[in-house]
Structure 1
Amino acid sequence: MAKPDKNAPRRPDARLPKGMRDIGPDELRQTQAMLDKIRAVYERYGFEPLETPAFEYTDALGKFLPDSDRPNEGVFSFQDEDEQWLSLRYDLTAPLARYVAENFQDMPKPFRRYATGSVFRNEKPGPGRFRQFTQFDADTVGAESVAADAEMCMLAADTLEALGIPRGQYVIKVNNRKVLDGIMEAVELGGEENASKRTTVLRALDKFDRLGLDGVKALLGPGRKDESGDVTKGADLSTEQITRLAEFLEMAVGSSGGVNEAFLIPSKGSFYGDASIDGWNELGFLEELIRKAGYGQDRIRIDPSVVRGLEYYTGPVFEAELLIPATDEKGNPVRFGSVGGGGRYDDLVARFTGQKVPATGFSIGVSRLQAALNLIGRAPAPTLGPVVVTVMDKDQIASYQKFVQTLREAGIRAELYLGNPKKFGRQLEYADKRGSPVVVIQGSNEREAGQVILKDLVEGAQAAAAIKDNKEWKETRAAQVTVPEAELVSAVREILARHS
């Protein structure tokens, strides 16, 4: 055995970066099916497509991420040849603000756009939490009316139903950051000097439904250690401030986890600063709009526990939550949490122009929603693989390729087996791995008769489960038919229709 050459260059390890994942064809096709359904709803609402680059100048993106205790403020950054800092986008909204600022004079107002693509977060990865994931956004820029926010809530509800989630198994929860700003004032956390601490507090409140009151109180205080032993630094509030915020959460959310309706009336609470009044008025108008449009509380409801972690929200904020009971592979109950959200961000474009430009938007977390739909068996069915034309005789490859082309010209996905045809069983194994519903077979006998054999792999797999021995298999030729070459397309279509 030859000794390894110590001077040979070291081969790189084939390994994924932490927090990233490879995605195979079945999941990609499933994602595309979801995107098509979301796009259809967004376009029905009058939104137009827009694509912006995957990275922007760092100062254009801004520092709005909730996970600001990570290096690079939660984003992945690098320098270009001019030593200017660039960052991968962490959402699709900040790039939109830059686009609007550059093109504001030439665009229709309001400007309605949708966009989908990967976004990147330099955050601690975990189970189901990746550093690259897909979002699908809709935004209206230049509309100050709360009617634009109400429309986003209705869009969210319609999108979830288009994806197959029945009414009553999801809810769009709505709050207003102005109400929360008033609460921040009431606990002496208003003003620019408290901006960083206020963000930490809002992040803590946003985790109420996941961590419960004790977990939130820990984050409002010195911090909290999670199950892995990692410590999240807290806001270091005073005991009095923590007590008042805890009272707000307990009053806002009933013991059953639902909204305490009495607390929706501003005069009922002593937790509000002056900033809250406009927020409550906007929520009242928003609720009137959605109710008159036919959206009941089973679909969209006011919920003062909704916070949203991003700092740039200035008005109504909303979250889409699945209510479907589910368990993981170990039988443990699973809570999906938010699968989408958004809100009003009237100051984001002003960072570039100095002028207030009202805007509101909603974003579907496609990756998270897809994982949830798969867990409950509601995701779109995987697309059938291509028809595989097998090779029985090497000297007849041109004839086999003609079958492939005939199927393709008829609009049917098809391919010629390009591996070593010596062992026919391996061709069937290949077709099975490709998810092929049917294979085309022609030996010398079929060629002389002007026929082809079509083997239905889906029905064949089902029949094989009931066949007891090899003799029975040979006698039954499970799920196999012989048809004239002229009927190849129609016969294949019949099999595809049976399984699509």
Structure 2
Amino acid sequence: MVGKKPKRVTARVPRGFVDRSASDLRAQDAMLAKIRRVYETYGFEPVETPVFEYTDALGKFLPDSDRPNEGVFSIEDDDEQWMSLRYDLTAPLARYVAENFEALPKPYRSYRAGYVFRNEKPGPGRFRQFMQFDADIVGAPNVSADAEMAMMMADTMEALGIPRGQYVIRVNNRKVLDGVLEAIGLGEEDAERRLTVLRAIDKLDKFGVEGVRLLLGKGRKDESGDFTPGAGLGTAGIDVLIEFLDASSVGVVHSAAFEPKENPKLADMKGGVLRKMPATLVHNKIDLHANQKFSDGEAELDQIRLLSEMAGYGPDRIRIDPSVVRGLEYYTGPVFEAELLFPVTNEKGEVVRFGSVGGGGRYDGLVSRFMSQPVPATGFSIGVSRLMTALKNLGRLETSRRTGPVVVTVMDRDRMADYQAMATQLRNALNTDEAGNPTEVPVPVEVFQGNPKQFGKQLQYADRRDAPCVIIQGGDEKAAGKVQVKDLALGKELSAQITDNAEWREARAGQEMVDYAPESPDAMIAAVRAILSRQSGGKG
């Protein structure tokens, strides 16, 4: 149709995805640097895998797979092979290790941070794209590797400023849970139903005991009306599982004060950490310790407890907890979660405990999917976005850089080359030390690139950018071999004390006129350095 205006596109972010500001990204970078430092002190080295993997390489391990494409985002390549965005960082690592097995040192310690994608129903605090930061040891069959993972997570929490008493690393074992499931009649032949049970238990901190009861039984309807089918267990089986999730019911035992001089042999430590069994099992005369899987899992938990306590990580930091499950199918042994214990206010205004910010465990079968030999592995993943929220609640989130940009203002469009030269001189001088080495924290310098007609708009821009100062040189200053350096913070302070317009013009609040020539910028550089030092309290 003639004269019809094109339809305007609506600006909107896709559901389940978020935009992030500069302060968010700086805070994330600072947090990742602290995590990376801890990982590297344990001997881990970085590796990066692509965000896309062939769908069959990822495997069908994702929980809540009641979405199209098994809970992942998938596309078909032009060679008719399906590729999917990775849903975690562990499955891609398994592929990487298998593909490069002969070239890698064994055990292989690696870490990586990156975005993962879940084709799940978005909700409050639940996104389709989020960042994880993983560390894994591939090729280590001993439970001491799992204990080391738990210890490293405790160190990471404290490196991020979360004090003892406000976090705990909770540890359980899938073999223990397998033994309990066999005790209530769910054997290996009922794998799909067992997985439904495990995923239901994994939602204990989200839905509470009654919500888990529903998921273990007929199912649960959420607030939106969507129904999740349950595992279909009977009342007796549900009672056993609910009781077992309660550490006080099971009777988890930790050493009150471990003495390293006793040096008990690991082989002698068996059957001690889960001494008291749920009343329902006792009543039904079911002895879990007679189940080989349960006994093996309990012995591994004993070793983790012993190794942790010998290294100085008591139950205030690393704690055996039967309620830890982890929803992913590929875990085969110890599983662990980093839980934050301090209260926060949720979206409904309710005061709740913050909960889990990371988890992981042993996955001895994942790499072996690609190979003809068994490859043991264990790892841990931190939920970066969720942990950032936690640090913000604690007031430990580094959200700002040291300074905004020094802004070189534009008084004459035809002199852009002069202004760029000033910016280059400042940029080089402010970002190197006396020996010519780059400074640790950069000082940005920029030339104003907007419309220079209204000088007041340039100062508003500098103020919005949190600039410490601006450089001003019009035709008069150039003819006199001068520049004006305006301290914006001091200018605000002085202007607040002046009420008369004539006095304000005369005072030129916060401005200093200094000598300047293109071949001799030292006075300008010194004036800017003085302002930066003053605004930082003399630091730097």
- TM-score above 0.5: yes
**Residue 409 of structure 2: which of 383, 390, 405 is its match?**
390
**Residue 423 of structure 2: which of 404, 413, 419 is its match?**
404
The whole-number CA distance in structure 2 between the counterparts of 1:237 and 1:69 is: 20
1:492 maps to 2:528: yes
Change (3 A) 1:356 1:366: same
1:416 maps to 2:447: yes
The whole-number CA distance in structure 2 between the counterparts of 1:280 and 1:292 is: 18
- Range with greater deviation from structure 2 (70-79 or 86-95): 70-79
Correspondences of 1:130-279 after superposition (within 5 Å):
130-191=127-188, 193-250=189-246, 252-253=247-248, 261=253, 265-269=273-277, 270=281, 272=288, 273-279=291-297
1:447 maps to 2:478: yes
> How many Å apart are 1:495 and its aligned residue?
3.5
1:434 maps to 2:465: yes
1:90 maps to 2:108: no
> How many Å apart are 1:395 and its aligned residue?
3.5
Question: Unaligned regions of 5+ residues in structure 1, if any?
Answer: none
Higher Cα Rg: structure 1 or 2?
2
**Residue 345 of structure 1: which of 360, 363, 371 is its match?**
363
User: Aligned residues: percent identity?
Assistant: 62
The whole-number CA distance in structure 2 between the counterparts of 1:337 and 1:314 is: 23
The whole-number CA distance in structure 1 between the counterparts of 2:348 and 2:491 is: 32
Q: Would the aligned equivalents of 1:440 and 1:453 in 2 still touch at CA under 8 Å?
A: yes
The whole-number CA distance in structure 2 between the counterparts of 1:253 and 1:353 is: 42
> How many Å apart are 1:392 and its aligned residue?
2.1
Aligned CA RMSD, in angstroms, stands at 2.6
The whole-number CA distance in structure 1 between the counterparts of 2:487 and 2:307 is: 54
The whole-number CA distance in structure 1 between the counterparts of 2:120 and 2:367 is: 26
Q: Which amino acid aligns with 1:417?
A: F
- Range with greater deviation from structure 2 (197-206 or 228-237): 228-237
The whole-number CA distance in structure 2 between the counterparts of 1:468 and 1:99 is: 68
What CA deviation, in whole Å up to 9, does each residue of 1:330-361 have, x standing for no partner?
A: 85424322111111111101111132101011
Partner-residue secondary structure (3-state), 1:275: helix
Alignment length (residue pairs): 492
Q: Would the aligned equivalents of 2:252 and 2:276 in 1 still touch at CA under 8 Å?
A: no
Q: Which amino acid aligns with 1:372?
A: A
- Range with greater deviation from structure 2 (127-136 or 376-385): 376-385
Q: Which amino acid aligns with 1:389?
A: V
> How many Å apart are 1:211 and its aligned residue?
2.0
Q: Which amino acid aligns with 2:525?
A: V
Q: Would the aligned equivalents of 1:66 and 1:199 in 2 still touch at CA under 8 Å?
A: no
Change (3 A) 1:288 1:456: farther
Aligned to 1:281: 299
The whole-number CA distance in structure 1 between the counterparts of 2:343 and 2:490 is: 33
Aligned to 2:389: 371
The whole-number CA distance in structure 2 between the counterparts of 1:126 and 1:185 is: 35
Partner-residue secondary structure (3-state), 1:425: helix
- Range with greater deviation from structure 2 (54-63 or 381-390): 381-390
Q: Which amino acid aligns with 1:496?
A: L
Partner-residue secondary structure (3-state), 1:35: helix
Partner-residue secondary structure (3-state), 1:198: helix
Q: Would the aligned equivalents of 2:244 and 2:322 in 1 still touch at CA under 8 Å?
A: no
> How many Å apart are 1:274 and its aligned residue?
2.8
The whole-number CA distance in structure 1 between the counterparts of 2:497 and 2:351 is: 36
Aligned to 1:296: 314
Aligned to 2:266: none
Partner-residue secondary structure (3-state), 2:244: helix
Q: Which amino acid aligns with 1:308?
A: R
1:106 maps to 2:103: yes
Q: Which amino acid aligns with 1:354?
A: S
The whole-number CA distance in structure 2 between the counterparts of 1:469 and 1:162 is: 52
Partner-residue secondary structure (3-state), 1:325: strand
Q: Would the aligned equivalents of 1:259 and 1:303 in 2 still touch at CA under 8 Å?
A: no
- Range with greater deviation from structure 2 (206-215 or 320-329): 320-329
Change (3 A) 1:113 1:243: same
- Range with greater deviation from structure 2 (169-178 or 441-450): 441-450
Partner-residue secondary structure (3-state), 1:324: strand
- TM-score, with length taken from structure 1: 0.91
- Range with greater deviation from structure 2 (458-467 or 350-359): 458-467
Change (3 A) 1:187 1:471: farther
1:61 maps to 2:80: no
What CA deviation, in whole Å up to 9, does each residue of 1:146-194 have, x standing for no partner?
A: 1111111121111222222222221111111111111111111220x32
Partner-residue secondary structure (3-state), 2:96: helix
Change (3 A) 1:421 1:238: same
- Range with greater deviation from structure 2 (221-230 or 343-352): 221-230
Change (3 A) 1:245 1:464: farther
Partner-residue secondary structure (3-state), 2:100: helix
The whole-number CA distance in structure 2 between the counterparts of 1:454 and 1:71 is: 60
- TM-score, with length taken from structure 2: 0.84
Partner-residue secondary structure (3-state), 1:454: strand
Q: Which amino acid aligns with 2:226?
A: D
Partner-residue secondary structure (3-state), 2:48: coil
